[in-house]
Structure 1
Amino acid sequence: MQSRLPLPETSRFDAAQRAVHDSILSTRGNLSGPFLAWMHSPALASPAEKLGAFCRYQTGFALVESELLILCVAAHFHCPGEQQIHEPIALQAGLSPEAIANIRAAASPVLTDERQRLLHRLATELLATHRIGDALYRQGIAAFGERGMVELVGIVGYYAFVAMTLNAFEMRLA
């Protein structure tokens, strides 16, 4: 990763950093994204890594759905690092190149799946207004249930944290 924050060398990690490093590698296979920045504070990195693993791999959403939410966050925060990491994953998960490009451009993507359209609307409204209006909230509850809505907000919130980290330290794939 390129970064204006000096990134710690894994060969110089202390025991706390090594423990977080090993946990990250066990779920993701690499330290791309914000993890190297967070490694400056292992006490922050450890719970952030665990929350991220939940948001990415353990919610009730299909991979294409969670990646759609992540791309909404990346577009909202104009975060190239998050886009570089998650656009290929979204494409492989089944999101069309056109939908990905439209989301990046903050345009309405053509989504044939009703759940995806609703997820996009929920995420973009939450990001734009910091709330979800009553009518859209009721639609979200009907489609995803209470657990799904909590997990949706969790994904959006976590990846907002990721985007702010990547943007603050100008982190991008090399």
Structure 2
Amino acid sequence: MPRFAPIPPESLTPDQRAIHDHIDSVYNTASGSSPPFTMKDHTGALLGPFPMMIHAPFFGTAWFDHIMTVSSHPALEPRARELAILAVGAHYHCPYELYAHKRVALLPALGMSQTQVTDASEGKVPDGLSPAEQVAYEFAMEMLNSKGPVAKPHYDHAVALLGKESVLILMQLVGVYSFVCLMLNGAATEVPE
């Protein structure tokens, strides 16, 4: 039994329905009518981290909108972004996050190989990355594994390859997806069949 069960649209309160419809609309705009991972069940109820947002409508859509803003910011290239997200999922051993973002990373537009995606999702730097992609993955892992500030040489190297704005977006991305993974793991969110 899910800790925060998906709620079919016809059973939502008006506040919950507003959040459901907002998430659904934004995702349809971002990924079209067929996202690379299952985000709804057979009743139309949202899956993944979304039931937690719907069960707590007092959060509104702020958390979701922040995630979407950071994860679509053009300062970070799509491959670097997905590599960083996979680093976060690997760090937290988060089944749903890895399920969803391995599928995103394998989209033809990103051109990542199955081996690269598997390595990244297991916490290993994949072969065949550009220098910028490699530093994005390594910097994300450094953030996740540091018990304090990221070492200055690692930060300086990331800024030299990515630029300061992109490193800031990368830091935000690691932060928001860490929050997502913690929520998903706390809720023991299952991967869809």
Tell me if TM exceeds 0.5: yes
The partner residue of 1:161 within 164, 167, 179 is 179
More relative contact order, 1 or 2 (CA 8 Å, 6+ apart): 1
**TM-score of the aligned structures, taking structure 2 as reference length:** 0.82
The CA deviation at 1:45 is 4.6
Q: Which residue of structure 1 aligns with residue 121 of structure 2?
A: 104
For structure 2, which runs of at least 5 residues remain unmatched after alignment? 29-38, 40-45
The CA deviation at 1:152 is 0.5
Aligned-residue CA RMSD in angstroms? 1.8
The answer to whether 1:33 aligns with 2:48 is: yes
Identity of aligned residues (%): 26
CA distance in 1, matches of 2:183, 2:63: 12
Summarize the alignment of residues 92-171 of structure 1 with structure 2, pairs less than 5 Å apart: 92=107, 93-130=110-147, 131-171=149-189
The CA deviation at 1:85 is 0.6
Count of paired positions: 173
Q: State the AA in 2 paired with 1:115.
A: A
Q: Which residue of structure 1 aligns with residue 95 of structure 2?
A: 80
Out of 14-23 and 147-156, give the one that drifted further: 14-23
Q: Which residue of structure 2 aligns with residue 19 of structure 1?
A: 18
Out of 6-15 and 112-121, give the one that drifted further: 6-15
Q: Which residue of structure 2 aligns with residue 7 of structure 1?
A: 6
Out of 4-13 and 90-99, give the one that drifted further: 4-13
**TM-score of the aligned structures, taking structure 1 as reference length:** 0.90
Out of 55-64 and 69-78, give the one that drifted further: 55-64
The partner residue of 1:65 within 61, 66, 80 is 80
Larger helix share, 1 or 2: 1
Change (3 A) 1:32 1:5: closer
Q: Deviations over 1:33-58 (max 9, x none)?
A: 20112211123251111011112223
Q: State the AA in 2 paired with 1:147.
A: E
1:5, 1:169 within 8 Å by CA — same for their partners in 2? yes
What SS does the aligned partner of 1:39 have? Answer: helix
CA distance in 1, matches of 2:160, 2:131: 13
Q: State the AA in 1 paired with 2:16.
A: Q
Q: State the AA in 2 paired with 1:60.
A: A
CA distance in 2, matches of 1:5, 1:27: 22
1:59, 1:151 within 8 Å by CA — same for their partners in 2? no
1:71, 1:83 within 8 Å by CA — same for their partners in 2? yes
Out of 36-45 and 155-164, give the one that drifted further: 36-45
